[in-house]
Structure 1
Amino acid sequence: MAQHRKQGKDSSAMEGCWCNCYFVFLLGFFIGICMVVAIRSSNNKGEAKPKISIDTLFVQKQVSRNLGVAKQLKLKAKNVQGSELARRMRILCWVMTAKHTHKTKALTVKRTWGRHCDKLLFFSETEDPEVPTIKIDKVQPGRSGLWTKVVGAYKYVQKHHRDEYDWVLRADDDSYAIIEGIREMLLPYNPEKPGFFGYRFLPFAPAGFFSGGGGIVLSKAALDRVVTMAFDGKHKDCPTVAFSDSADDVKIAQCLYAVGIVPDDTRDFRGRTRMHCYDVDLNVKPDAVETMNPWYRQNQWWPVKGGLDCCAENGFTWHYVIPLRMYMIQYLAYSVQVENVVFFSKAAQSGISITSATHQ
């Protein structure tokens, strides 16, 4: 019996060895092809590039197994990393909505990026069980009621859900957020210390203010401090809800500054923005800066540029995003996989002709 077990172990070891050898052989085979192409190209400068025809079905048979394993490993790694980050930092998202956009914008947020929040709440001037929304009382109609909604929402979150979050994201129902990107940015920060993040403008407050629609992130400590030390007339420099104009993002900045909380830098290491107060297309087009609203252009806290290098590769909030585009971004951000076409893209760049043949 012991001898039989030993033979089984030896057989498994041999199978593993053969798998490793097979993988090394395939790897060497493709490296060899690339080297031959490179040498022939360098030795025939000025001459027409030789076309090497590769049968896609043959290639797929040879590499699909390795691609499949690589994709599974990558997916597992992302899931493990995402789970670990989620355990380390819980993000509660609250979304400001209105009665006339419950069935369109609010439900779209719920069906797309809102699913990635650890807790998702919607605040409105009316209750709606389908979304569902939490009603804020005494909200004046239109934009004049925004500050009342903001104060009411923050107080509700801090009172009823304080033990369920480390960070709080405030967004509008036409905002789009990639929660995993927020977690990545917040890795160096401690939620037990005041933190205040967003897309920054110059005027109206000592160190500027953050766009509400572009998303505002507060640490647990920051929310505790502003609710208990600033709201409801607790600090003279924090406007009460009696000042009911529409500049709620300016007011929250003033209240945070009043209790000693200053804004943090949300850009990446190259100075590119990660949070945005406009939709994706208005940022990435080459003439974005020239076509911006003059106020927007003149009141930037940080330099802004257009084109594909406008924004960080791990950007995570945008504003003025219509429902249809939310679904599109959700698909592109979470469903599209590029691993399947990497080899063929590289081959095309090298002048290799990719053909498709039918094998019997």
Structure 2
Amino acid sequence: MKCAFIYSNFNIRNILALLLIILLVFNLLQFSSYAQFAIRQTSFSSPSNFYSFTLAQEEEVKKTDDPFVNGKLLDAKAWTKVRILCFVLTQPKNLDTRAAYVKRTWGSRCGKTLYISDTNNETFPTIAVTNYTGHKQLWAKTRKTFELIYDKYFDDFDWFLKADDDTYVIVDNLKKFLYNKDPFALEYYGKFFKPYVKSGYPSGGAGYVIGKRGLDRLVNIAFKKGPQCLPESAPRAEDCVIGWCMEDSGVKLSRESVDSEGKELFHSFSPQREFIIPWSRIPFYSQFSIHKIGGDYCCSNQSITFHYVKGAEMLFLDYMFHNLTKFV
């Protein structure tokens, strides 16, 4: 009698438990060794080669074999047509160690991905949008990028995602999350932080996504006359300022960027740190968050983003999330 294996739906919580065990055994040096091996094996031995992908590779990375959301079969074509533009904040020194891994993994799955840096780099490519440079000037980059997107890409996309160069995004889950959302509604989505901004602000590293109407109001209301929306030159935390600006525009951060069990979709830490939060971070994270955190509460099976994921760990997560199948 032949044995039949039934492939169940992808389960992120089970993968996270497996990741935790593996990551406790292997240290970062081993991850680095893995990265070097992976780069050699894929012929990305130099920055110029690493940034150059064939059409076949680009198409392969966009494929998905998970047509389920909350256990229900979607129209196989409908959710894949959600139009998302992603932009990633980076800097020249991070191109090889961070941004290149975004491009190698999830960056190619958005409808379009812009890499925003301090200088123009035609090889990668990256775009410089402001003369303000450095980590303390992330708000300048963010504000000018939203203006650029509004001017050049507004008609081509319905949703606009901001991420850092150490943010990992499961783009298929993002598209499925947005499939039944209205890009003209007066709300946007991300990891909800509650202090500083009356209506809340999104954790910048966890990424946040703004709909078409939200972007229009951000650029034409908040940027032009919002009393809280700071100018490009303000060296303030980008995520706090976007919270103030969106509040000025009349668009509120959703308090329900969670699944049907109330588990969060956007995460400020890497999977292992979301699962077992370092003691030093528990007071901050619990004070800022509005939903339960850590352990069994940490992560939805439909999670969308994780933060502080760099280099080889990003390759590793991408492999785990897109290749492992659970047998029952």
Fold match by TM threshold 0.5:
yes
RMSD: 2.4
Pair 1:191-2:183 in alignment = yes
Pair 1:160-2:152 in alignment = yes
Pair 1:303-2:291 in alignment = yes
Q: Partner amino acid for 1:249?
A: D
Please give the residue correspondences for 1:147-296 in structure 2 after superposition, counting only pairs within 5 Å: 147-231=139-223, 233-245=224-236, 247-264=237-254, 265-285=256-276, 288=277, 290-296=279-285
Shift of 1:289: 6.9
- 1:128 aligns to what? 121
CA radius of gyration, larger in: 1
Shift of 1:112: 0.3
SS at match of 2:148: helix
- 1:12 aligns to what? none
Counterparts of 1:291 and 1:76, CA distance in 2: 37
Q: 1:100 aligns with which of 89, 93, 97?
A: 93
Q: Please, which runs of 5 or more residues in structure 1 have no aligned partner?
A: 1-58, 69-73, 343-360
Q: Partner amino acid for 2:184?
A: E
Counterparts of 1:145 and 1:116, CA distance in 2: 28
Q: Partner amino acid for 2:281?
A: M
Taking structure 2 as the reference length, what is the TM-score of the superposition? 0.76
Pair 1:318-2:306 in alignment = yes
Q: Is the 8 A contact 1:289 1:306 kept in 2?
A: no
Counterparts of 1:77 and 1:96, CA distance in 2: 30
The size of the alignment, in residue pairs, is 268
Q: Is the 8 A contact 1:108 1:326 kept in 2?
A: yes
Q: Which has the higher relative contact order, 1 or 2, with Cα contacts under 8 A spaced 6 or more apart?
A: 2
SS at match of 1:213: coil
SS at match of 1:334: helix
Question: CA 1:80/1:198 → structure 2, altered by over 3 Å: closer, same or farther?
Answer: closer
Looking at secondary structure, tell me which structure has more helix per residue: 1
What do the CA deviations read for 1:218-270 (whole angstroms, capped 9, x no partner)? 00110011011111x4222211113223x011101101101211111201122
Q: Please, which runs of 5 or more residues in structure 2 have no aligned partner?
A: 8-63
Q: Partner amino acid for 1:276?
A: H
- Among the aligned pairs, what percent are the same residue? 29
